[in-house]
Structure 1
Amino acid sequence: MNAPVAQPATQSMRDHAHAMWSKRPGLLRGRNLWIVGGALLVLLALWFMFKGDGNANPYRTAPVDRGAISRSVSATGTLQPVVSANVGSTVSGPVQRVEVDYNTPVRVGQVLARIDPTSFQQRVTQLQASLAQAQAQYATANADYQRYVALSNAGFASAQLMQQQRAARDTASAAVAGARANLASAQTDLSRTVIRSPINGVVVDKQVSVGQSVAASFQAATLFTIAQDLSHLQANISVDEADIGDVRQGQEVQFTVDAFPDRDFRGVVSQVRQQGVSDQGVVSYTVVVTADNPDQTLLPGMTANADIVIERQNDVLRVPTTALRFRPSDPDVAARGQALLRGNGQRGGAAGAQSGGQRGNWSGGGQGDGRGGQRMVQQMAQQLQLTPAQQATVQQAVQSAMQNAPPPSADGTTDRRGMMRELRQAALAALQPSLTAQQRQLLAQIQQGGDPRREVRNQAVVWVLRGNLPTPVVVWTGIADNTNTLLYSGLNENDQVIIGGGPPAQTQQRNASPFGGPRGPGGGRGFRAG
């Protein structure tokens, strides 16, 4: 009896199951598409992530090129006319007229100003009358003398009387000469009330106006300053004593002024003055630089920021100075460069390669403490090409001399130059027995005022990319300017050197792939076993 009821239910379940199985291929295809799409999105995200990390900190490079390089001494000074005249007045009185103003071109003898001549004209008139009176008295005395001469010839005048008449005539003649001289002096003073230009030039300063009283007593009052020729100017440059030994007459000078910061001007050292100027214990020397100014762009009083070219070499290989300062952020990689440099028997680092401007007299750079002695040791090592053992000998001698140096005086001051002189003597005394023949020759050139620094070469390390890895290369360098350093050997023209960039050290060590392995140096992925 239950069979008729169960049969319809069973048939319905079968129909439902058949419908579900008939739709299953479409459902499977939809799920597969979602899975494949999600996997592609994950892979794409990972690719972009690793690609971005690989280029996040690229190394910056620059080529080794060829060109000119120079070593210079920097100093500042003030532009002045080569020839200038301060025009003053030797007479006193109120200014009646001013004929010129600032920037007025003037010629020799041209009237600049006039002082009220009334009192001077009156004195001239008075002295003219005095001269006429003296001349009249002389005429009377001379006539009397001539009469007495005739009487004396006739025997009616004594010798004593003749002597008196002769004296009277001579006195009157002297009075005429005195009156004439006084008149000439008054006329000269009258002419000086007209102020005239003594030279051809331009009025660059005016210190007088109409109605102003000029008082000339022991010193002539300056009324105008005239520059003879502004197409030629000179700059009085103040050079530190540590650099003055490199400066010579005839050296090229490049300078700028604040008014035209993007324009370079050129001049020549025309004079090195031997008188030093001391300011708070710092000694400097004046170097006179002459420069052409054809368009009169430069003006007197401008501040010249000058570079005196001590040495220049043209058409030489140059490496960017920033490449000598670059160090990889990874300490282990940077240590390879230091080890490579030490293996070549030189001091580590590139600091020595940038010391082309060191003095040949081992002045210590003006330091008053241990840094001065240390710098002197470095200079000696570079200029005499000392071995590490010789450098250690010099260092020990300098340290011993510094320990035995006298204490500062009661006012806290020390004789810095005297101390540096004693340090040099101690260093040379300790170094003499171990000097080679070539080093003795270099030392003789230095002591005789020569310039062996041109032949000194310094060793340094630069970094290049090989297989996307920073690799150290030892190079020989020479003089340096603000941007480049002379390259003697170690690299070729157009070689690329690293000047900056690269991943930080912590990033290199921390930046690992999602799979646990460390990141490769070029942005690739690595795997860690186990």
Structure 2
Amino acid sequence: MSDIDINKLRVDRQQTSSPTVTKKRRVKVWHILVLLFVAALAYFHFFPSAVLVQTTQVVSAWPSQQYVLLDSTGYVVARRKAAVASKGTGRVEWLGVSEGQHVKQGTVIARLENHDVASAYKAAVANSDGAAAGVLSAQTVLSDANDNLHRVSFLYNKGLVAQITMHEALSRVTRAKQSVAGAQATLAAARANQDNAQSALDYTEIRAPFDGVVIARSANVGDIVTPLSSAADAKGAVAVMADMSTLEVNADVSESSLGSISVGQPCEIALDAFPDRRFRGEVSAVVPAVNRASATVTTKVRIIDIDSKILPDMSARVSFLSKQVPVDQNKPVLAVSPQAIVKRHDHDVVYTLSAKNTAQEIPVTVGAQLSGVRAIQGNLKVGEVLVLEPAKKIVDGTLLKLPETH
């Protein structure tokens, strides 16, 4: 067996790859890198990364907010209010009103049992009639006495009667005059008793003291009503009335803010019951007393725009203004945080958050500063979500992301 040349089995590594193969491989690598770059661009184009943003909302604001000096809270009250009762004591026989009913001044709203009082009045009338008859009788006696005196005087002057007869005639006239005076005094006393009985009878009919609305019924048929309400289960009043034309707001103002308030100052009133409405008002009085516990002063604000839906004891917020807002301008406007408004191509715009979480550019017209918000006009509505402090990279269509809530 011949010897094998092992050197022939050695691989020459320098000759394993030619220059042409190496060049092809490099081209393939560059193609792969370019494809990866294009794929990355396509991914970021079609699947861009979301921008984290803070949001705010479009709100409704009132033009009066630019004139607000200070705010206060209080309650609606009626300046003219009364607990209607009787001066006499009795059982309620009839009650003719209910809560919310409008009544006119002098209208009978309740009646007490009056059989005993009516009988006393009839007796007083009879006494008055008897006293009047007594006066007539006494006047008749006086007339007869005067006629007798005239006749006796004529005979006395002729010397036909004695002097004593003349004295008796004079005495008779004097006694008749005294009888007339006594009868007239008796008649006056009887008529006074009749008036008293009439008043007692009138007290059994409880009437409305002014035009107003019944806001509460304090008694029912069968209840005993007494002025002092001292008896067990007795009522002091049958109903509570309020004059709705005198409604005002009692607002508590800090004593440190009294310098900003004056009588006649315009105000704007917001009621919790009507959050979408505002009512004009003005300061009618500042109570000259300070509450030590709260260091506040009660300020009475008259409601100018009286509405039948406004009721006593409604909670209210009062804004004291530096000037009155014209009626035609006192309407709600759209407003946003000033930080939501940015300049794009020399125009004021805001960015809304669409249903797909993308930014939508909305041109707006900027108005007055209203407290902490800015009035705007644009294709927006109350409650719409806006981007707060949008960065320059946010444009129309930018994908947005909201902070996670825990």
TM-score, structure 2 as length reference:
0.61
- Deviations along 1:131-170, one digit per CA (max 9) or x if unpaired, are 2332343344444444444444423625445433321221
Cα displacement (A) at 1:311: 5.0
- 1:301–1:139: structure 2 CA closer, same or farther, 3 Å change rule? same
Query: Counterpart of 2:194 in structure 1: which amino acid?
Result: L
Secondary structure of 2:300's partner? strand
Cα separation, partners in 2 of 1:269 and 1:209, compared to 1, 3 Å: same
Distance 1:161 1:91 in 2: 48
CA pair 130-175 structure 1, distance change in 2 beyond 3 A:
same
Q: CA deviation at 1:44?
A: 4.9
1:306 alignment partner, SS class: strand
Matches within 5 A, 1:384-423: none
SS at match of 2:322: strand
Distance 1:239 1:485, change over 3 A: farther
CA distance in 2, matches of 1:281, 1:234: 21
Matches within 5 A, 1:288-307: 288-294=301-307, 296-307=308-319
**Could you say which residue in structure 1 is the equivalent of 2:2?**
2
Q: CA deviation at 1:99?
A: 0.5
Post-superposition CA distance 1:468-509 (Å, at most 9, x none)? xxxxxxxxxxx97531489xxxxxxxxxxx97588xxxxxxx
Paired position in structure 2 for 1:345: none
Task: Give yes or no for contact 2:73–2:252 (8 Å, CA) kept in 1.
Answer: yes
Cα contact 2:267–2:283 (8 A) shared by 1: no
| Residue of structure 1 equivalent to 2:217 | 206
The AA in structure 2 aligned to 1:75 is S
CA-CA distance at 1:96 after TM superposition:
0.5
Aligned pairs for 1:359-374 (under 5 A) are: none
Give the length in aligned residue pairs.
315
The AA in structure 1 aligned to 2:184 is: S
Distance 1:57 1:149 in 2: 117
- 1:226 pairs, out of 234, 241, 244, with 241
SS at match of 1:132: helix
Query: Which residue, 260, 276, 281 being the options, matches 1:246?
Result: 260
1:309 equivalent to 2:309? Answer no
CA deviation after TM superposition for structure 1 residue 129, in Å = 2.6
Question: 1:241–1:285: 8 Å Cα contact kept in structure 2?
Answer: no
Whether 1:175 aligns to 2:179 is: no
**Paired position in structure 2 for 1:191:** 202
CA RMSD between the two structures: 5.0
Counterpart of 1:506 in structure 2 is: none
Please say if residues 290 and 297 of structure 2, whose CA atoms lie closer than 8 Å, have aligned partners that are also in contact. Answer: yes
| Equivalent position amino acid for 1:306 in 2 | V
Determine whether 1:166 maps to 2:163.
Answer: no
Of 269, 286, 289, the match for 1:273 = 286
| Deviation sequence 1:162-190 (CA, Å, 0-9, x none) | 43332122112210121122112212321
Distance 2:100 2:338 in 1: 48
What residue number does 1:342 align with? none
- Quickly say closer, same or farther: Cα 1:82–1:274, change in 2 above 3 A: closer
Letter in 1 for 2:201: L
Give 5+ residue unaligned stretches, structure 2.
Answer: 153-164, 330-334, 345-367, 376-386, 392-406
Q: 1:306 to 1:205 in 2, by over 3 A?
A: same
Which residue pairs with 1:96 in the alignment? 93
Q: Structure 2: how far apart are the matches of 1:78 and 1:59?
A: 35
The structure with the greater share of residues assigned to strand is 2
Distance 1:101-1:500 versus aligned 2 partners, 3 A rule: same
Aligned counterpart for 2:124 among listed residues 118, 122, 127? 127
Alignment partners' CA distance in 1, 2:140 and 2:129: 17
Q: In the alignment, does 2:288 pair up with 1:237?
A: no
Tell me, in whole angstroms, the C-alpha distance in 2 between the residues paired with 1:228 and 1:179.
40
CA deviation profile, 1:32-74 (whole Å, cap 9, x unmatched) = 6699469948x959x97xx969x557999x9xxxx88323210
CA 1:56 to 1:212, structure 2 compared with 1: closer, same or farther past 3 Å? closer
Match of residue 72, structure 2, among 54, 67, 75: 75
Distance between the aligned counterparts of 1:288 and 1:101, measured in 2? Answer: 29
1:71–1:480 CA contact under 8 A, matched in 2 = no
Structure whose CA Rg is larger? 2
Do structure 1's residue 114 and structure 2's residue 105 form an aligned pair?
Answer: no
CA distance in 2, matches of 1:297, 1:183: 46
Matched, 1:282 2:330: no
Q: Which residue of 2 aligns with 1:422?
A: none
Does structure 2 retain, via aligned residues, the 8 Å contact 1:107–1:197?
Answer: yes
| 1:253–1:289 contact (8 Å) kept in structure 2 | no
Structure 1 residues 149 and 255: CA distance shift in structure 2, 3 A: closer
SS of equivalent to 1:182: helix
Cα distance change of structure 1 residues 251 and 75 upon mapping to structure 2, 3 Å threshold: same
Out of 372, 387, 395, the position equivalent to 1:483 is: 372
- Residue by residue over 1:353-388, the C-alpha shift from the partner in whole angstroms, topping out at 9 and shown as x without a partner, is xxxxxxxxxxxxxxxxxxxxxxxxxxxxxxxxxxxx
For the 8 Å contact 1:72–1:309, the answer to whether it is kept is yes
Q: Work out the CA distance in 1 between the residues paired with 2:101 and 2:285.
A: 33
Question: Cα 1:120–1:311, aligned 2, differ >3 Å: closer, same or farther?
Answer: same
Equivalent positions of 1:408-447 (< 5 A) are none
Classify 1:38/1:277 alpha carbon distance in 2 versus 1 (closer, same or farther; 3 Å): same
> Residues 162 and 293 from structure 1, CA distance in 2 versus in 1: closer, same or farther, beyond 3 angstroms?
closer
In structure 2, C-alpha distance between the alignment counterparts of 1:288 and 1:171, rounded to whole Å: 61
The Cα of 1:464 is off from its aligned counterpart by 10
Q: What are the superposed Cα offsets for residues 204-229 of structure 1, whole Å, 9 maximum, x if unpaired?
A: 22222111111126999443333344
Letter paired with 1:78: Y
Gaps of 5+ in 1: 324-462, 466-478, 487-497, 503-530
Q: Distance in 1 between matches of 2:186 and 2:281?
A: 61
